[in-house]
Amino acid sequence: VSQVNTAVVGLGFMGSRWALAMFEHPAARLAFVSDVREDLGREIADALNTRYVRDPLEAAADSEVDGVVICTPEHLHVEPAVAAIEAGKAVMVEKPLAHTVVDAELIRDRAANLSVPVLVGHILRFEPRYAAAARAVRDGDIGAVQAIRGERVGLIGTQSILQGRTSIALYLAVHEFDLARWFAGEVKSLSAHKSAGVLERQGYEVDDLYSALLRFESGAHGTVLLGWLVPDDYPGRGLVGLTVIGESGVVRIDQDALGFVKVGKGGKEDDFFFDAEVEGKRYGVLSIEADHFVKCVQGTAEPLCTASDATEAVRLSLAMESSAQSGAPIYL
């Protein structure tokens, strides 16, 4: 199968990793990278032997590339994504697809009208434990799903990086609601509660925790616990896990059971999730996802998480926010 030309727009935590994954992929060529920060863009371009393009919209539509990876901050996905779609590129957009349902639907509909593949970076679909759980459900190994429970409570220190730029709904809940739909189908209704104040007192305009109760169209039900209130000393990324109970079996994932923590020079290191490195090459979840995206660009795979899936994750996450605000359940 032919080699594909790719570009990465936005070169922070995720984008720098995506650029490396494209650089290392045997069937991809990293044609260029783009970021509004010229110093960062040039540094990464030099390190990965590629060129730097300053304007992200020009980058997204460049005739040299077949596939564009968009890793700008959460609320800045729409413009580069639509520019790339309209130029006919295969697109990978980091989660959340967008910060509003209207923008998510815009990306979804534009891609559908132009028959452009869009993969949304719900990376957990590529994590071997979650993939095994999905297979168990799909193959009927645990019978019909009766209930699920997800938890994703990150470290307090997350805010020193995010600086309140996004919300629990759009940063964390989209992951859990995407998984919930993957495992148990469409959600019929949800109600939620939240608490706030601890992080506000530290100067961040974000809530602390959410609990949501879900009812699925299948009759199954479930709960999710979300937020960022785990002390930074806690090993790993926080309290993260998933339980799926079927009529004849159960699946349980402890995502925070990393099995490896190093505390020393460079601070706390536990990054086997994205970036497991052996003999100078990365084998983490991101490489698996990047490999899938290359296949989507080549036309040999369909996106495992579509813009339509990701739009529903945004819809459910914002519904959770509204329900917690109003105190009333939401019927989807």
Beta bridge partners of 212: 192, 224
User: Which CB sits closer to ligand NAD, 12 or 185?
Assistant: 12
User: Which CB sits closer to ligand NAD, 47 or 250?
Assistant: 47
* Orientation angle between helical segments 307-326 and 174-184, nearest 10 degrees: 110
User: Which CB sits closer to ligand NAD, 6 or 191?
Assistant: 6
**What one-character DSSP code corresponds to residue 295?**
H
Among 62, 74, 103, 208, the residue binding ligand NAD under the rule CB under 6 A is 74
Binding part of the chain for ligand NAD, among 9-17, 46-54, 264-272, 290-298 by CB under 6 A, reads 9-17
And the tokens for 88? 């006919």
Tell me which residues in 150-209 interact with ligand NAD (CB under 6 A). Answer: 171
Number of residues that bind ligand NAD (CB under 6 A): 23
* In the complex, least distance from residue 147 CB atom to ligand NAD, rounded to whole angstroms: 25
Among 66, 94, 127, 309, the residue binding ligand NAD under the rule CB under 6 A is 94
- Burial class of residue 203, CB neighbours in 10 A (0-12, 13-18, 19+): exposed
**Measured between alpha carbons, how far is 91 from 245 in angstroms, rounded to an integer?**
35
Binding part of the chain for ligand NAD, among 11-19, 215-223, 231-239, 321-329 by CB under 6 A, reads 11-19
Tell me which residues in 209-228 interact with ligand NAD (CB under 6 A). Answer: none
- Site map (CB under 6 A) of ligand NAD, residues 28-67, x = contact: ------xxxx--x---------------x-----------
DSSP states of 154-198:
EETTHHHHHTT-S-HIIIIIHHHHHHHHHHH--EEEEEEEEE-SH
Segment holding 91, helix H or strand E: strand 90-94
Binding part of the chain for ligand NAD, among 8-16, 260-268, 290-298, 306-314 by CB under 6 A, reads 8-16
Q: What are phi and psi of 98, to 5 degrees?
A: -155, 175
- Site map (CB under 6 A) of ligand NAD, residues 95-124, x = contact: x-------------------------x-x-
Tell me which residue has its CB nearest to ligand NAD.
12
What is the four-CA torsion angle of 253, 257, 258, 262, rounded to 10 degrees? 170
* In the complex, least distance from residue 75 CB atom to ligand NAD, rounded to whole angstroms: 8
* In the complex, least distance from residue 59 CB atom to ligand NAD, rounded to whole angstroms: 8
The sign of the torsion formed by the CA atoms of 91, 97, 100, 105 equals: positive
**Measured between alpha carbons, how far is 72 from 150 in angstroms, rounded to an integer?**
27
Please name the residues in contact with 248: beta carbons below 8 A apart, sequence gap of 6 or more. 142, 143
The site for ligand NAD (CB under 6 A) is made up of 9-15, 34-37, 40, 56, 71-74, 76, 94-95, 121, 123, 171
